[in-house]
Amino acid sequence: MHEYEIKILQALKGKKELGFDDIVVMSGLPKDSAMWAIENLSQAKVVGVKRKGASEVALTQEGEKYVDGFPEERLLKEVFKSGKLDIRGIKDQIALAWAKKNAWIMIDGGMAVITQVGKEAAKEREYPARILLQKLASAGPGAGAVVQKNQQLIGVLAKRGLLTVRERSVIDSVAPLQDPARLLSSEKEAGIGTLTRDMIKSGAWRKERFRPYSINAPVEPLYPARLHPVREFINYVRQQWLEMGFVEIAGPIIEAAFWNFDALFSPQDHPTREMQDTFFLSNPRQISITDMEAVEEVRAMHELGWKEKWSENLAKEALLRTHVTALSARYMRKLANAVNENYPQKFFSVGSVFRNENLDYKHLAELHQYEGIIIGNNLTFANLIDSLKKFYAKLGFEDVKLRPSYFPFTEPSLEAYYYDEEHGDTIELAGAGIIRPEITKALGINRTVLAWGGGLERFMLSARMMGLDSIVTPYKNNVGWLRSRPNIKV
Amino acid sequence: MPIVAFSLKDLEREGYPKAALEELVPKLGIEIEGVDGDEVKLGFTPNRPDLLDFTGLIRAFDNFTGKRVPAEAQYRIKNEPALTIGVTQAVKKVRPYIAGIVARDVNLKGNRLKYMINFTDKFADTYGRRRKKLAIGIHHLEAIKGNLVYDAVSEGTITPLNEKEKMSFGEVMRETAKGQEYSHTITGSGGKGIKKGGKEAVYPYLKDDKKTIALIPIINSEQTRVKEDDTDIFVDITGTSANAVASSANLIACSLIDMGADIYPVNVLYAGSKGAWENPSLRYREMKVLLSGAERTLGVHISESSVIGVVNKMGYFASQYGKSVLLSVPPYRVDVIHKQDIIEDMAIGFGYDKIQPLPISGSSVGLSDDLIDLENRVALLMVGLGYTESINSMLTNETINFDDMVCKYDKSRYVSLADSKSLNISMLRTDLLPGLLQDLSISTNERMPQRLFEVGKVFNMADGKVTESVRLAFVSEHSKTNFGEAKSVVEAAVRNVIGDPFRIKEHKHPSYVDGRCAAVVVNDELVGIFGELHPAVLECFKLEEPAVACELTLVKEMKYEG
């Protein structure tokens, strides 16, 4: 018998029946442990358990919004102010329906007219539905008494999708089916329960038999502490680069537009530079560029290539990097000034990038990208394809397909994708290409630069790797999800 | 990426049923975005606006499949100009460039007119930067009386497309969907424009002898509306870049020629300057590419005997001279500027799927970044201590970062965003802990104890300079937690991560309970704070159990190479 079970039986000694809360107090066990032990004893038919239903009520997201006021209350306020309102002007149909249902208003000739009931309600401002919602919100889950008293209204609010009700059966009271005292004494007689240090030292265990435990009794679930799946993924991708002989680089997420856009031949009037896609900063507004030689080279590249005036001021604008290619640009520049390096040089990075987007279950403002570059003499598009295919094969994507594509900073460019036959799912893996000669020249490199990269979150969404339902899920960090999340299939 | 819808029936009629389409488009870098009934949506890369038009798309298909072989100077223009456009000083200051095309005997039947309009709209929205840099209008030629004047005024009238009554330009901008959508294009000359009637001439417009035919770049006149039975049309192309206007005129003229049209140039006369700007030019550019040069870039050997076939597939008329090939770039290829552009087309014509991968010779040694190694070490240590890792966004807002931590804040001390589409995002986090508490606040239904940590970057500012640092934070929430638990974990973490001798001293911080808050000091420098979280903080995050927490600096200031 487990020590918790013994503690429960001790509490039950001499009792016909005992309430669950009393058992918890008398046994000194945490609620979870007491429940577990009682269930064991009940399975072994040592005790009988009486159960009661309990409802757990939780507010939905919609419900949270209603805590500060229901739409019908707002409508009532408006109608109360003016006495009547043209119903064509009322956009919120929910508000209209409920105000009618509550008999606050009548519809008369296309007008919502306030009733006596409505006038009183508007003065009182004590809408029972809202008050209940507020109580539940502040009481948190399992606000037993509140729930008991308001069954009907809770039903209504649940139907409106403002709360969820979960019915659970919990232990109400426990009655011994066998005499606890006898069981406890036989416990002593029937052999070794818990093996002790004394028994081992004295060898007393040799003289007694071990009492068998019920191996089918349920045990408390354990949730190991874990690394975050995004870290696991990043490390998995890093490992492939490292094994292929790439050197890892890291850099700032706050960048001058110069490294994020200008050095990469992105024209200054390009739509992605506008606020809508890029997070520009208001503090600091600008980041200084110290490499004046690079500034002049980049200016020449732009004015020749785009036939438009290039502004150094725009290039200084501070922003959150939109791609890790900004970092690749910095490293190309760094290598331009290096001497006695052996080629090819290979670099990679995995890091956060930012997009000013409307957020929903499909869109995040912060994402992760990985990118690798190879700088060398006489490198070709065929070399790029070879490295890229080897990289994805190592990640588990054999037979990657290629198609022509376009990026402002590479030419020729390609896009690599993979068709997952098992799940009928096309996964866009990478954008790749040879960095445009204008760019390498402006950055002072007289060699060829091959580059490829992609988004990390795409992997996590793909059924082949993790099969997340939404990209937002891992970044919510709900403790329950972190404890029971799917594993990465690698 | 621009997406355009086409009818599968129309494509089939041209010889490209769905199966053929599916096989062909990836080879040209076009993506099938979706099929809905007879409609297929195709996604194009922004460098190939010529493909957005049905005629242009079929031309590319026909070239690629060999149905059509590019001939020398296929696209020709008639000699005699058909129209003249006078340009006033006023409009020069707000939207200076205009080109016109007169097309006769064009076939606009079936979906052709619809495709042409879809194309010009999409083109102006993407390449034309939502009509600011470039916009296109199509008119019925016969409805135009006399010659055209391109002018700007402070107010005027037009009968807009789909309307019966005349409206003032101001009304069009305020009351029509197009007016609202493209209001950003009407900017005037930045306050420096000439005045008419006391107001700046901000509206560019095009008129004939009798009426306004377009409020540019907003909407055309109902009076010059084109119908699919019309055969003669006039196209106006306006914008802020001469280069964009001229090359777009060429692109559109080529499509019209493929639709059977004869193209006549239009002369543009600028007030105060001699000579006319004549467009479209339909000029072919000659480019010579060495076969060895292409091979050096691509790593693919394209033989002297096969190269003409390869470039023909991409629409170039070409002749071969020994070890080089001389190509003539058709006027619709506005994207081809450098030799590298041709070389890329050679790769596409050759076929990406036929390129044999070539291994890179020479070995190199992989090396991981020190900082990321450190982060991984710390993360594993914290997992060992029973803490689960959380990764929160670096983007946050003042409420979570400061208010909920019951901390005051100073705008000059943190990094703020100029503009954000999301109300929940306005700054970069200055601490890790608020994110962790936010995580706990959505997890109150989960089993206790809850223990989370995060290793990550935070951003603070002083004297206008940003400091990026790397921190570790952890939090433990459960009914029996206390200062001692936090201290044990802090000591274990500092001992194993920082390693230097440290001491713990009393500290005050608004997020922690007074008398149960301490600082970690290494080499006389404060590197961390920990203790029991103040109930006011717990309340803000709606936590129902006590919690202890710590935030520890691992790297005070990140300095990057490169």
A395 and A262 co-located in one domain: yes
A342 and A424 co-located in one domain: yes
How would residue A132 be classed by pLDDT, with cut points 50, 70 and 90?
confident
Domain presence at residue A222: no
Computed over every residue of chain B, the mean pLDDT equals 92
Decide: helix, strand or coil at residue B499: coil
Chain B residues with CB under 8 Å of A342 CB are 362, 364
- From the list B26, B358, B435, the residue facing A382 with the nearest CB is B358
Query: What does the alpha-carbon distance between residue B72 and residue B317 come to, in Å, rounded to a whole number?
Result: 6
Task: Find the mean pLDDT for residues A327-337.
Answer: 89
The larger pLDDT score, comparing residue A168 to residue B319, is at B319
- From the list A223, A411, A478, the residue facing B344 with the nearest CB is A411
Given A207, A238, A262, the domain boundary residue is A207
Q: Report whether pLDDT(B190) > 70.
A: no
**Distance of residue B540 Cα from the nearest chain A Cα, in angstroms:** 12
Structural contact between residues A385 and B355, judged by C-beta atoms closer than 8 angstroms: yes
A298 and A372 co-located in one domain: yes
Q: Which of A149-158, A390-399, A479-488, B222-231 has the lowest mean pLDDT?
A: A149-158
CB-based contacts of B335: which residues, under 8 Å, 6+ apart? Answer: B47, B48, B49, B341
Chain A residues with CB under 8 Å of B299 CB are 380-383
Token couple for B387: 């803490």
| Containing structural domain, residue A173 | 3-58+168-207
Q: Report whether pLDDT(B195) > 60.
A: no
Cβ distance of B452 and A479 shorter than 8 Å: yes
Nearest to A428 by CA among A466, A467, A388, A400: A400
Query: What does the alpha-carbon distance between residue B6 and residue B40 come to, in Å, rounded to a whole number?
Result: 5
Most confident of A76-80, A354-358, B412-416: B412-416
Q: Report whether pLDDT(B55) > 90.
A: yes
Interface pTM (ipTM) of the complex?
A: 0.89
How far from the centroid of its chain's Cα atoms is residue B400's Cα? 31
Cβ distance of B415 and A411 shorter than 8 Å: no
Across the A:B interface, residue pairs with CB atoms under 8 Å apart total 273
Domain presence at residue A235: yes
**Distance of residue A96 Cα from the nearest chain B Cα, in angstroms:** 28
A445 and A388 co-located in one domain: yes
Cβ distance of A252 and B343 shorter than 8 Å: no
How would residue A325 be classed by pLDDT, with cut points 50, 70 and 90?
very high
Given this model, what pLDDT does residue A144 score?
A: 64
Domain presence at residue A220: no
Query: What does the alpha-carbon distance between residue B153 and residue B216 come to, in Å, rounded to a whole number?
Result: 11
Query: What does the alpha-carbon distance between residue A416 and residue A401 come to, in Å, rounded to a whole number?
Result: 6
How would residue B196 be classed by pLDDT, with cut points 50, 70 and 90?
very low
A286 and A321 co-located in one domain: yes
A234 and A340 co-located in one domain: yes
Given this model, what pLDDT does residue A29 score?
A: 87
Given A164, A180, A198, the domain boundary residue is A164
Given this model, what pLDDT does residue B193 score?
A: 40
As a whole number of angstroms, the longest Cα–Cα distance in chain B is: 93
Given this model, what pLDDT does residue B14 score?
A: 95
What's the domain count of chain A? 3
Find residue A165's DSSP bridge partners. A57
A273 and A148 co-located in one domain: no
Task: Find the mean pLDDT for residues B435-455.
Answer: 94
- Test mutation, B385, B437, B445, chain A, max A CBs within 10 A: B445
Tens digits of per-residue pLDDT, B271-285?
Answer: 888 888 988 999 999
**Distance of residue B50 Cα from the nearest chain A Cα, in angstroms:** 14
How would residue A178 be classed by pLDDT, with cut points 50, 70 and 90?
confident
The larger pLDDT score, comparing residue A143 to residue B57, is at B57
Task: Find the mean pLDDT for residues A113-121.
Answer: 88
- From the list A249, A308, A434, the residue facing B369 with the nearest CB is A249
Tens digits of per-residue pLDDT, B492-507?
Answer: 999 998 888 999 999 9
Task: Tell me which chain A residue has its CA closest to the CA of residue B132.
Answer: A269
Given A129, A164, A199, the domain boundary residue is A164
Cβ distance of B359 and A482 shorter than 8 Å: no
A108 and A8 co-located in one domain: no
Nearest to B66 by CA among B306, B325, B284, B314: B314
Place of tokens 């391109």: B150
- Put simply, whether A252 touches B (Cβ < 8 Å) is yes
CATH for A358: 3.30.930.10
CB-based contacts of A97: which residues, under 8 Å, 6+ apart? Answer: none
Task: Find the mean pLDDT for residues B28-34.
Answer: 92
Q: What is the pTM of this model?
A: 0.79
- From the list A230, A279, A379, the residue facing B360 with the nearest CB is A379
- From the list A366, A379, A387, the residue facing B394 with the nearest CB is A366
Chain A residues with CB under 8 Å of B428 CB are 254, 320
A202 and A266 co-located in one domain: no
Tens digits of per-residue pLDDT, B246-262?
Answer: 999 999 999 999 999 99
**Distance of residue A337 Cα from the nearest chain B Cα, in angstroms:** 10
How would residue A145 be classed by pLDDT, with cut points 50, 70 and 90?
low
Given this model, what pLDDT does residue A121 score?
A: 86
- From the list A235, A238, A382, the residue facing B300 with the nearest CB is A382
- Put simply, whether A371 touches B (Cβ < 8 Å) is no
Given this model, what pLDDT does residue B390 score?
A: 98
Domain presence at residue A490: no
Find residue B309's DSSP bridge partners. none
Amino acid sitting at position A190: A
Most confident of A21-30, A132-141, B383-392: B383-392
- Put simply, whether B275 touches A (Cβ < 8 Å) is no
Structural contact between residues A318 and A285, judged by C-beta atoms closer than 8 angstroms: yes
Given this model, what pLDDT does residue A170 score?
A: 80
Task: Tell me which chain A residue has its CA closest to the CA of residue B358.
Answer: A383
Cβ distance of B297 and A438 shorter than 8 Å: no
Computed over every residue of chain A, the mean pLDDT equals 87
Chain B residues with CB under 8 Å of A271 CB are 126, 129-130
- Put simply, whether B134 touches A (Cβ < 8 Å) is no
Domain presence at residue A69: yes
How would residue A146 be classed by pLDDT, with cut points 50, 70 and 90?
confident
Chain B residues with CB under 8 Å of A334 CB are 561-562
Domains along chain B with CATH numbers: 3-65 (3.30.56.10), 83-279 (3.50.40.10), 285-353 (3.30.56.10), 370-555 (3.30.930.10)
The interface residues of chain A toward chain B in range 162-191, judged by CB-CB distance below 8 A, are none
Place of tokens 């934070």: B473
- The string of DSSP letters for B252-312 reads HHHHHHHTT-EEEEEEEEETT--SEEEE-----EEEEEEHHHHHHHHS----TTTHHHHHH
Task: Tell me which chain A residue has its CA closest to the CA of residue B23.
Answer: A403
A103 and A37 co-located in one domain: no
Give one word for A130, left, alpha or beta, with left for phi > 0 and alpha for psi -120 to 50.
Answer: alpha
Token couple for A295: 């500034």
Asked whether the CA dihedral A247, A253, A254, A256 is positive or negative, the reply is positive
Domain presence at residue A216: no
The interface residues of chain B toward chain A in range 403-432, judged by CB-CB distance below 8 A, are 411-412, 414-422, 424-425, 428
Structural contact between residues A237 and A394, judged by C-beta atoms closer than 8 angstroms: no
**Distance of residue A175 Cα from the nearest chain B Cα, in angstroms:** 28
Query: What does the alpha-carbon distance between residue B66 and residue B254 come to, in Å, rounded to a whole number?
Result: 19
How would residue A188 be classed by pLDDT, with cut points 50, 70 and 90?
low
Per the omega criterion (within 30 degrees of 0), is the bond before A284 cis?
Answer: yes
Task: Find the mean pLDDT for residues A36-65.
Answer: 83
- Put simply, whether A476 touches B (Cβ < 8 Å) is yes
Domain presence at residue A217: no
Given this model, what pLDDT does residue B192 score?
A: 44
- From the list A228, A271, A475, the residue facing B129 with the nearest CB is A271
A54 and A65 co-located in one domain: no
Task: Find the mean pLDDT for residues B292-316.
Answer: 94
β-pair type (B395-396, B324-329): unpaired
Query: What does the alpha-carbon distance between residue A106 and residue A94 come to, in Å, rounded to a whole number?
Result: 15
CA atoms within 13 A on the CB side of A236: 20
- Put simply, whether B451 touches A (Cβ < 8 Å) is yes
Structural contact between residues B405 and B508, judged by C-beta atoms closer than 8 angstroms: no
CATH for A193: 1.10.10.10
| pLDDT > 70: percent of chain B | 98
Q: Return the H-helix or E-strand segment holding B21.
A: helix B18-24
Task: Find the mean pLDDT for residues B170-191.
Answer: 84
- Put simply, whether A228 touches B (Cβ < 8 Å) is yes
A466 and A323 co-located in one domain: yes
How would residue B82 be classed by pLDDT, with cut points 50, 70 and 90?
confident
How would residue B189 be classed by pLDDT, with cut points 50, 70 and 90?
low
- The string of DSSP letters for A332-356 reads HHHHHT--S--SSEEEEEEEEEE--
Token couple for B78: 């008639």
Task: Find the mean pLDDT for residues B503-530.
Answer: 95
Q: Give B323-368 as a 3 state SS string.
A: CEEEEEECCCCCCCCCHHHHHHHHHHHHCHHHCCCCCCCCCCCCEC
- The string of DSSP letters for B63-122 reads HHHTSS---TT-S---SS--EEEEE-HHHHTTS-EEEEEEEES---TTTHHHHHHHHHHH
Query: What does the alpha-carbon distance between residue A248 and residue A234 come to, in Å, rounded to a whole number?
Result: 12
Nearest to A348 by CA among A263, A417, A247, A266: A247
Domain presence at residue A404: yes
Task: Find the mean pLDDT for residues A169-182.
Answer: 84
Q: Which of A266-270, A294-298, A446-450 has the lowest mean pLDDT?
A: A266-270
Find residue B525's DSSP bridge partners. B522
CB-based contacts of B45: which residues, under 8 Å, 6+ apart? Answer: A404, A405, A406, B1, B29
Cβ distance of A254 and B390 shorter than 8 Å: no
Cβ distance of A244 and B366 shorter than 8 Å: yes
Q: Return the H-helix or E-strand segment holding A66.
A: helix A61-66
